[in-house]
Amino acid sequence: MGILNITPDSFSGDGLLSEGRQQEDIQAQARRFVASGVDMLDVGGESTRPGSQPVSAQEELERVIPVVKWLVAAFPQTLVSIDTYKAGVAEQALMAGACIVNDIWGLRADPELAQVAAKHQSPVILMHNRSQPSNAQVTANLGGRYIGMQYDNLLEDVKRELLESVALAQAAGVPEEHIILDPGIGFGKTVEQNLELLDRLDEIRELGFPVLLGPSRKSFIGYTLDLPMDQRMEGTAAAVAVGITRQADIVRVHDVETMMRVVRMTDAIVRRGS
């Protein structure tokens, strides 16, 4: 899954609405991703970095709908997902041709989103998220991270809360085969908790649903290696490779060209018979 951040303020520095970037930049990035063999393009119109400010549904729609329409027309063989927690945005994106809903709040932020996904028969990615602004710490060089996050039992708590999101989806009529889980690396977890969650990702997979992993360029890599966002390629590659060995089914990344090679090599080693 290749990330298209249609924002001016992405944590990763790749916001495609930042100063000096135009529609042509969005299209060029999408073309590079597709040429590299990406399976999905994930379009988001609101930054989720620690300390970011929410945007209105209308502004989010203005950012993402033209992009979704263009992607669907330009790359009909590539799946397009909409990264939003707002039912109204998801509705319009699905009508514009997106086919997956990627909700960072696991259907908890907008109770109508589950019904939208069910109506459109859309798969949903349900992410675990305990982000609280009061626990966010931002430094100039390494960016934002969460501190002081308390879990009774990290894996058991994450699994339980993911299954609560699954129940919300199923109650709205989303079938089991349309549900994908995301453990929420970087969202309401400390650096150490992120490392543990990644290492034990197979326990999330044991819940019986496909798993998406999104470690790309995140601050747990930066704080582990003491590196700024633009120097986290190798750390991301390590996280992606380990995630695949722990049974991740989808990896969501910024650096598609490089990570595609990591994915293919790791698959060749650990999934020879599949």
Write out residues in the chain with pLDDT < 70, as ranges: 9-22, 49-52, 134, 273-274
In a domain, 45, yes or no: yes
Options 49, 145, 218, 246, the catalytic residue: 218
pTM listed for this prediction:
0.92
Q: Which ranges of 173-212 does DSSP label H, i.e. alpha helix?
A: 191-199, 201-205
CATH number, domain of 129, equals 3.20.20.20
Most distant CA pair in the chain: distance in Å? Answer: 48
Report the amino acid identity of residue 252.
Answer: R
CB of 232 closer than 8 Å to CB of 221: yes
Options 63, 86, 217, 252, the catalytic residue: 252
In a domain, 197, yes or no: yes
Bridge partners of 143? Answer: 139
Identify whether 218 is a catalytic site residue: yes
Retrieve residue 103's tokens. Answer: 């909700």
The number of folded domains in the chain is 1
Give tens-digit pLDDT for 141-177.
788 888 888 999 999 999 999 999 999 999 999 999 9
pLDDT score for 13:
44
In a domain, 273, yes or no: no
In a domain, 274, yes or no: no
Identify whether 264 is a catalytic site residue: no
In a domain, 110, yes or no: yes
The sign of the torsion formed by the CA atoms of 193, 208, 129, 236 equals positive
Torsion of CA 238, 104, 42, 33, to 10 degrees: -10
Question: Domain containing 41: what range?
Answer: 2-268
